[in-house]
Amino acid sequence: MPKIKSRRGAVKRFRVTASGKIKRAKGFKGHLLSGKGKKRKRRLRQAGTVSAGEARNIHKLIPYL
């Protein structure tokens, strides 16, 4: 039986931490940044985690994550 292919776009966007949580990059930091505060832009650089409900969907996209 062949292996299931992973969705390549999802593979590039998500990583798994040592504890098994899924890390993601935060949005709203591509352009129109002059109106946003320094603190907000600094916080957007940090990685966020995916909620448990969304993690189930991501595991369907990336079966061997």
Tens digit of each residue's pLDDT (9 = 90 or more) over 17-59: 999 999 999 999 999 999 999 999 999 999 999 999 999 999 9
What pLDDT, on a 0 to 100 scale, did the predictor assign at position 48? 97
What pLDDT, on a 0 to 100 scale, did the predictor assign at position 61? 96
What pLDDT, on a 0 to 100 scale, did the predictor assign at position 65? 86
Please state, in angstroms and rounded to a whole number, the distance separating the CA atoms of residues 29 and 31.
6
Task: Please give the distance of CA 43 from its chain centroid, rounded to a whole number.
Answer: 15
pLDDT above 90: residue 1: yes
Please state, in angstroms and rounded to a whole number, the distance separating the CA atoms of residues 50 and 11.
14
Say what the pTM is.
0.83
Please state, in angstroms and rounded to a whole number, the distance separating the CA atoms of residues 50 and 33.
24
What pLDDT, on a 0 to 100 scale, did the predictor assign at position 53? 96
Domains of the chain: 8-61 (4.10.410.60)
